[in-house]
Copies of this chain bind each other. A is one copy, B any other.
Amino acid sequence: MAQESQITPRYLSGDKPALREFLDKFDVFLFDCDGVLWSGDHLFPGTVETLELLRKNGKQVVFVTNNSTKSRADYRKKLEGLGIPSTVEEIFSSSYSASIYISRILQLPENKRKVYVIGETGIEQELQSENVQYIGGTDPAYRRDVTPEDYKKIAAGDESLLDPEVGVVLVGLDFHFNYLKMALAYHYVKRGAVFLATNIDSTLPNSGTLFPGAGSMSAPLIMMLNQEPVALGKPSQAMMDSVEGKFKFDRSRTCMVGDRVNTDIRFGLEGKLGGTLGVLTGVSSKEEFVSGDVRPHAYLDKLSDLLDSE
């Protein structure tokens, strides 16, 4: 982090020439959503107009979210519900990122291309969209107690429980997490499957407080295996590779916009993007932006200050 810590972030709010100069440097803007475009269920004023301005000026807009339970189609509906026009193609979620990573970046042997999923329907839909075969997930056959027979079958490598074609274990947020799923995931990885996680956020905000996040499903496996998963969510560069795999953008002409230094800004800096833009409407403070360990290239009081570039 030594290099990044020497950035002196430029404050752009209200500075029309600086805003113009900044925007001119980029063709692609990657957006974190909660804390940037909205907070909880509250859309920030000017969000829609700002996105419109960028699109009007020929900028590619991409929404990058660690949410793994929703498919991109579901997420587009969420954006629509908040009044933000978007297309499915503009949305990049950690479950989609994982699917892209599996289908386009991992070089799996012919007979090891199935994915064992711990997670909900959002992951399944995205695997389908990339024609990746999977088992587990929302299949009711896995939503049951472990039995004495299961132990014996798993120990014996019985193919009715351990599919020999599974080459990847993908762990995301699963509201139906249980002992059997944990045991199967462990044994697949021990048998050589790649250990992937959509994201490893330990908690998930809901109803104004926190609940177990996707990372809570990976935690037991990390402990049992003494191995970290390749995590596809921000700030993992596997996600950046996936975004690039799809959009084929020029990193030097791409800017990451976010409210959190440790996920969003770090994601952009480690990805060697041309720019990172912090906004003060979310988690990180001005002090963190200007004197923290991880600093954005520039920052704004709020996203809609970009409208002043006009």
Question: Interface on A for B, CB 8 Å cutoff?
Answer: 145-146, 151-152, 154-155, 174-179, 182-183, 186-187, 202-203, 206-213, 215-217, 219-220, 222-224
Contact = CB atoms under 8 A, between A and B. Distances in A.
Given A146-B175, A209-B155, A203 B219 contact: no
A224 B202 CA distance: 5
Given A145-B175, A145-B176, A179-B175, A216 B220 contact: yes
Nearest to A209: B155
A178 to B, nearest CB: 6
Number of this chain's copies in the complex: 2
B178 A177 contact: yes
Please indicate which of the listed interface residues A152, A207, A213, A224 has the most CB atoms of chain B within 10 Å of its own CB. A224
A105 B176 CA distance: 36
Nearest to A180: B175
Nearest to A174: B179
24 contacts: A145-B175, A146-B175, A152-B207, A154-B207, A154-B209, A154-B211, A155-B207, A175-B179, A176-B178, A177-B177, A177-B179, A178-B178, A182-B216, A183-B212, A186-B210, A186-B211, A187-B209, A202-B224, A212-B224, A215-B220, A215-B224, A219-B220, A219-B223, A220-B220
B202 A223 contact: yes
A213 B223 CA distance: 10
Contact of A203 (B151, B152, B206, B224): B224
Given A212-B224, A219-B220, A151 B207 contact: yes
A151 B215 CA distance: 19
